Chain A
């Protein structure tokens, strides 16, 4: 599995094991077809017919025995949705972002699904940037610095995005059987947290001929919070409404937030390299 590297003294932060787990939690505080949240904050996640996870106390992930035959599915959700739950349980701040770094400075591309976060990160990773994490971006505050903790470098790409990155989709493995998305595993860009130089919120406006970049300020930089945080509502259901908002506003007070509006066409990718570089150099 392409899990992020261990850091610190090597003691495990998360225990991952395989066992028989129930289909549902008894009397959950909240549930959807995919998730039960227990009154104790434990989370049962159901994805597809075979893949279930029980996530407890921010420290323990139990994968259902039946999922063992579906390891790509397990891995896909482990580095995504399951990680998101763990981070909420651990009281960490996680952006919904893919992140790259250059010269020990990181930039996070933030936005809801479908805005091209992974595609842009992979494109930059092929042009001198190092990939730090895809989709789930854990933030730590170190004195007056905001840092990105390297996460999963297992990118999930739609076939059109894979082609735009010069990969033949059919040569890449799928992350889930029967699903068109492909997996591209890139080298881990860093083992240590990297200072975050900028947050770039991605938007798409098909009216544009060329991408457009602008600096955001005030409430506009962090609203709506659902567009920046990884699974904000899930976090709130785990009792984190106030810490999440505080964490995000603290971050926005320390790191410039930009809006990058793309044309909706992959052909705009080369033009983005310069724009991202200008943000990184404070231009």
Chain B
């Protein structure tokens, strides 16, 4: 391997992954401004089109199992075709293995992963706005060990199916594996100390950077700036069923006004152990 490696930006949905992607995108351009609708799509989630191109097959004619089996090979083929040493990719998958036991995110070609954690009570609220679904339904999905993204009919538009699972299972799958060095980063800490968090992420992924660029990247991707851009020209990654802006509030603890006591209790009952590990209880 000529040293080309992935840096995985991993999270359960609605946990700050898009923001982190924009911060890193700005950082790698020396702290320049970002256009939320022109972020390099190659930083995005793996697609059918990529599998077609890199593995030479009609992936939309494959079964879910065939696609899953080929995921490690897809990642290897992308790395083999890449010019620069680091490939950043957004990931919502839990850490998973193919039926034959190979890790989907091939450790040999992985420099590291950044795992973004967020209070699942805030995720439930944010996810419900994003999907246009009732909060109770999202709480149910977050408890479902078998759920996958973009796989209900295999018609994920463009993204490959992504095994997701329950929120706590998702967190543990990445943070308890030992094959890929993984930095856990709390969304709440990104909000309170973004420059320090971005510095840690850059260091973990081996991205050379200067203090001034870190600060500039944080300023260029402040919530108000992303939100103004979305208000002015929309955001391509917002779901059509969404009931609110994608960059909706950019804060933590909003669940206190949005969840009933029973809803919050359901989340704590299911995910309490992992929530305690990250200081949410």
Interface residues of A (CB under 8 A from B): 32-35, 45, 47-48, 76-77, 80-81, 112-114, 135, 156, 158-160, 175-176, 178-181, 204-207, 226, 231-234, 237, 264-265
Contact = CB atoms under 8 A, between A and B. Distances in A.
23 contacts: A33-B73, A35-B56, A35-B57, A47-B62, A48-B66, A76-B58, A77-B58, A80-B58, A81-B57, A113-B48, A113-B59, A113-B60, A114-B48, A156-B60, A156-B61, A179-B63, A179-B154, A204-B157, A204-B158, A205-B236, A206-B236, A206-B240, A233-B81
A33 B70 contact: yes
B177 interface: no
Most A CB contacts (10 A, CB to CB) among B55, B61, B158 go to B61
Nearest to B158: A114
Nearest to A37: B56
Interface string B53-89: 1111111111100100110010001000100000000
B239 to A, nearest CB: 7
Contacts of A231: 52-53, 56
A226 B62 CA distance: 20
A158 B52 contact: no
The A contact surface, by secondary structure, is: loop
Contact of A181 (B52, B60, B158, B239): B60
B149 interface: no
B234 A207 contact: yes
B155 interface: yes
Contacts of B236: 205-207
B157 A114 contact: yes
A160 B154 CA distance: 11
B157 A77 contact: no
B56 A112 contact: no
3 pairs of A and B residues whose beta carbons are closest in the complex = A112-B49, A207-B234, A32-B55
A47 B234 contact: no
Given A113-B48, A158-B155, A32 B59 contact: no
